[in-house]
C-alpha cells in the first residue's frame, strides 16, 4: 500500500496545505482513510509524519477541514513554530499520528483521570532516518508517555520505523534505554518544557512521568481506534471535526471521488515557499 501527497498554497504561509492520495490516485483523508494497521497480526501500525526531526514548523492533520490535509498550526494569527529549548533543536524525533485513532474528549481515561484531546494519537519515531513531511511509515510500538496537556490526556507513543536498520534491536521501552541512553530522558524533558517559551507553565504527566510499556501502549492505541470507529460511524457526536472520507464505505461521511477532488480544486495553487521567519531559529535557555 503506497501513498502520495499533493501540495497546495505556498509553504510557510497560512494557505499552505498538503493533501493525500492512495495508490489508485484517489484523494483520501490521512485521518480516516489510511488503515491503522500495516500488519495487524504483528501489531505494526501506519503513522503519518507531520513534523520531520530537527524541524520547528508545527504541522498537523487539520481535523476540522475537509479531507484533513496537513496544515501548520496558527497561534495569534501567525504560523506556529515550536521553540528551540536548549539543548533541543526543534522536534527530536519524527513526530506524527496514527490514522484511524481518536482521543475522545468525552471519555475520561481511567488511568490519567483526564479526557482525550480530540486528536489522533501522537507518535515519536526514534529511528535514524529523518523522514519527509507527509511520509507514511510503518512503525513498531515500544511504549508510551502520558502527557497531561492543559488538563487533557495527550498520549505520546514511542515507536520505531520498521524499515530502520536497527529496528530488530528495539522491541520494548527498555531497549531504548539500552541502545539509545538518554533519549527517553530527553523526550520527557522536551515535552515538559516546550511550551515554557510561550509563557506557559511546565507540562504535567500521569504515572509520575514514567514511560509505560509496549503492551500498555498497544492497548491504548486500540482503545483510541474504537473511539474513532464510533466517530466515523456517527455513533459519537463529531462536534467540529470533519469526518469526510472516500474509503470507509460504511461511513455516513463517505463521499465520491468527485466530491473529494472538488475540495482540492478549491484550494490555492501551489507556489514558491516563503522564507521561514528568523524567530524560528531563536534559542531559549532557562533553569530547570
The pLDDT of residue 288 is 72
Q: Which residue has the cell 457526536?
A: 237
Grid coordinates representing 34 are 489510511
CA distance 28 to 184: 34
115 φ, ψ to 5°? Answer: -80, 165
For residue 253, CA distances in Å to 5, 48, 236, 241, 278 come to 22, 21, 13, 11, 41
- pLDDT of 286 higher than 90: no
* Closest to 83 in 3D by CA, of 265, 277, 221: 277
* Closest to 157 in 3D by CA, of 94, 61, 221: 221
> b/e string for 76-102 if b means 16 or more Cβ within 10 A?
eeebbbbbbbeebebbbbbbbbbbbbb
> b/e string for 147-165 if b means 16 or more Cβ within 10 A?
bbbeebbbbbbbbbbbebe
Bin 247: left if φ > 0, else alpha if -120 < ψ < 50, else beta.
Answer: alpha
pLDDT one-digit tens code per residue, 4-55: 999 999 999 999 999 999 999 999 999 999 999 999 999 999 999 999 999 9
* Closest to 209 in 3D by CA, of 227, 193, 225, 198: 193
* CATH fold label, 3-278: Inorganic Pyrophosphatase (3.90.80)
pLDDT one-digit tens code per residue, 157-200: 999 999 999 999 999 999 999 999 999 999 999 999 999 999 99
Average of per-residue pLDDT across 101-105: 98
- Whether the link from the prior residue into 87 is cis, omega within 30° of 0, is yes
The pLDDT of residue 145 is 98
Burial, 132: exposed, middle or buried (Cβ in 10 Å; 0-12, 13-18, 19+)?
exposed
Average of per-residue pLDDT across 86-110: 97
The pLDDT of residue 223 is 98
144 φ, ψ to 5°? Answer: -155, 155
For residue 120, CA distances in Å to 10, 104, 182, 197 come to 26, 9, 27, 25
The structural domains of the chain, with segments of one domain joined by +, span 3-278
Grid coordinates representing 118 are 480530540
Cβ contact 242:8 at 8 Å: no
pTM assigned to the model? 0.97
Cβ contact 225:36 at 8 Å: yes
pLDDT one-digit tens code per residue, 113-139: 999 999 999 999 999 999 999 999 999
Tell me the pLDDT band of 282, cut-offs 50, 70 and 90: very high
Amino acid at each position: 500500500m503506497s501513498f502520495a501527497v499533493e501540495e497546495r498554497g505556498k509553504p510557510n504561509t497560512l494557505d499552505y496545505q498538503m493533501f493525500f492520495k492512495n495508490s489508485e490516485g484517489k484523494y483520501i483523508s490521512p485521518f480516516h482513510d489510511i488503515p491503522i494497521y500495516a500488519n495487524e497480526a504483528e501489531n505494526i501500525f501506519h503513522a503519518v509524519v507531520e513534523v520531520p526531526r530537527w524541524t520547528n514548523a508545527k504541522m498537523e492533520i487539520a481535523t476540522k477541514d475537509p479531507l484533513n490535509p496537513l496544515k501548520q498550526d496558527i497561534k495569534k494569527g501567525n504560523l506556529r513554530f515550536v521553540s528551540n529549548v536548549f539543548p533541543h533543536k526543534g522536534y527530536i524525533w519524527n513526530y506524527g499520528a496514527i490514522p484511524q485513532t481518536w482521543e475522545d474528549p468525552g471519555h475520561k481515561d481511567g488511568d490519567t483521570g483526564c479526557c482525550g484531546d480530540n486528536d489522533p494519537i501522537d507518535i515519536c519515531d526514534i529511528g535514524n532516518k529523518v523522514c519527509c513531511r507527509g511520509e507514511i511509515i510503518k512503525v513498531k510500538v515500544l511504549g508510551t508517555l502520558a502527557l497531561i496537556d492543559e488538563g487533557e490526556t495527550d498520549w505520546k507513543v514511542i515507536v520505531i520505523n520498521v524499515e530502520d536498520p536497527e529496528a530488530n534491536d528495539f522491541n520494548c521501552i527498555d531497549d531504548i534505554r539500552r541502545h539509545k541512553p538518554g533519549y527517553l530522558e530527553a523526550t520527557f524533558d522536551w515535552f515538559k518544557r516546550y511550551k515554557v517559551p510561550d509563557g506557559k507553565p511546565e507540562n504535567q504527566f500521569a504515572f509520575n512521568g514514567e514511560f509505560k510499556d509496549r503492551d500498555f501502549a498497544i492497548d491504548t492505541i486500540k482503545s483510541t481506534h474504537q473511539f474513532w470507529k464510533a466517530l466515523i460511524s456517527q455513533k459519537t457526536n463529531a462536534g467540529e471535526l470533519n469526518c469526510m472520507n472516500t474509503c470507509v464505505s460504511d461511513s455516513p461521511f463517505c463521499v465520491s471521488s468527485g466530491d473529494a477532488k472538488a475540495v482540492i480544486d478549491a484550494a490555492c495553487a501551489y507556489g514558491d515557499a516563503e522564507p521561514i521567519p528568523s524567530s524560528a531559529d531563536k534559542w531559549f535557555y532557562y533553569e530547570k
